Chain A
Amino acid sequence: MMSKGDNEEAERTLIRAQLDADLALALAKEAKAQSDAAEASEQVGKLRKEMSK
C-alpha cells in the first residue's frame, strides 16, 4: 500500500505528464495555425499581384 504522500506524488507525476502532452498538442496546433495563416497571406499577395497586371 502506498502512503498518502506517495499517492500525492504519483498524482502530481500523472498531472505533469498530462500537461506535457497538452503543451505538445497546443504547440502543434499553434504551429499549424501559423503555417495556415502564412499560406493564406501568401495567396492574397499572389492574387493581388495577378490583379495588378
Chain B
Amino acid sequence: MRRSTRFSGVRVSGSYAAGPLLIASLSVLLGACGGPAIPPQELNDARAAYAEAAKGPAADLAPAQLDTAKKALAAADDNFAQDGPTSKTKDLAYMAQIRAEIAAAEGGREKAERKRAASDKDFKNAQIQGLENYQKTKEALASEKAARVEAERKAAAAMASLNEIAKVKEETRGVVITLSGSVLFATGKSDLLPIAKEKLNQVAKALTDQGFKSIVVQGYTDSVGSASDNEALSMRRAQSVRDYLVTKGVPSEKATAEGKGASNPVASNSTPDGRAENRRVEIVVTPEK
C-alpha cells in the first residue's frame, strides 16, 4: 500500500481504472435496491493503509501521527456513512491514506534512527574496548619484560653466588656445579661436614631461585681402594648431598643421586693434589628450557 504511485491524489496505476466505474455501477444498483452503499476504492485503500501502519513501528514510534491518521479515517468513514461515496468522501479517504502512510514513514524513520544510534554506541564501545585491549596488551608485555629481566637478574646473582663456593661450568649435559669432596666430607665418610651444609644451603638457594628441570647429584672418589668400595662410598655421598638439598627446598621428584666411584677423573690420581680434585661431588643441572 505504501509508496504507491500517485500524482496529486490521482492514481496513475491502471489497476484501479475499472474500479470507480464498477463501484459506481454497483452503488447505483444497490442504492436502487435499498441495500448498503459500497465504500469507494479510496476508502478501502485508506483502511488498508491505516491497518498496515498500525501493525508497523509507527504504533510505538509515531503514535501521534498514527492517531491523526486514525481520526482522518474516522472522518472519511463518517462522511461515507452520512453522504455515501461522494467526492468529499473520496478526498477525505485519500487524506486518511496519506496520513497513514506518513505515520508509517515516520515510524520507519524513527526505528532506523534508533538503530543507527545503537550502532554508533556499539562503535564507540568497540573503540573503547579496542583501546583497553591495547593498553592491557601493552601492560602485559611490559610486565612480562620486567619479569624476564628480574629472572635474568636472579639467575645471574645465583650463578655469581655459586661461583664463590664452587666451580660452575656449562657442558653439553647441563650446568655442572663441582664441590670438592674435602670440604663436604671427612675421609671415608658420607656425613656432611658443618661447612658443607653452609655451602649446600647456598647451592639450594641458587637452584630454587633460578629454577631448573632436574638435577643429578654425582659422587666421585679417587682411585685409592677397591672399585666397589669407592662406588658405594660415592653413592652414599651423592645421596647425602641430594637428601640435604631436598631438605632445603629442592623438589624431591626433580633430584636424583648417582655413585660414579673413581670413574671420570678430572686430575691425575698419582699425586695428592690430583686425588683431592678427583674426590668431588658434581651437581648436573638441566635448565628449565
Instruction: Given A20-B8, A40-B120, answer yes or no on A47-B102 (Cβ-Cβ < 8 Å).
Output: no
Instruction: Tell me the total A-B contact number using a CB cutoff of 8 A.
Output: 88
Instruction: Given A17-B8, A26-B109, A33-B109, answer yes or no on A44-B102 (Cβ-Cβ < 8 Å).
Output: no
**Complex Cα gap A34–B108 (Å):** 8
Interface residues of A in 1-49 (CB under 8 A from B): 8-9, 12-13, 15-17, 19-20, 22-23, 26-27, 29-30, 33-34, 36-37, 40-41, 43-44, 47-48
**Complex Cα gap A21–B91 (Å):** 16
Instruction: Given A20-B98, A27-B3, answer yes or no on A47-B116 (Cβ-Cβ < 8 Å).
Output: no
Whether B88 contacts A33 by the Cβ 8 Å rule is no
* Interface SS, A side: helix
Whether B95 contacts A47 by the Cβ 8 Å rule is no
Which of the four size classes fits the interface of chain B? 20 to 34
Whether A16 contacts B91 by the Cβ 8 Å rule is yes
Instruction: Confirm or deny: B70 has a beta carbon within 8 angstroms of a beta carbon on chain A.
Output: no
Contacts of B113 in A (CB 8 A): 33, 36-37
Whether B126 contacts A19 by the Cβ 8 Å rule is no
Q: Mark B104-130, 1 if CB is under 8 A from A, else 0.
A: 011011101101100110110011011
- Max chain A C-beta neighbours (<10 A), residue from B8, B110, B123: B123
- Max chain A C-beta neighbours (<10 A), residue from B3, B92, B102, B105: B105
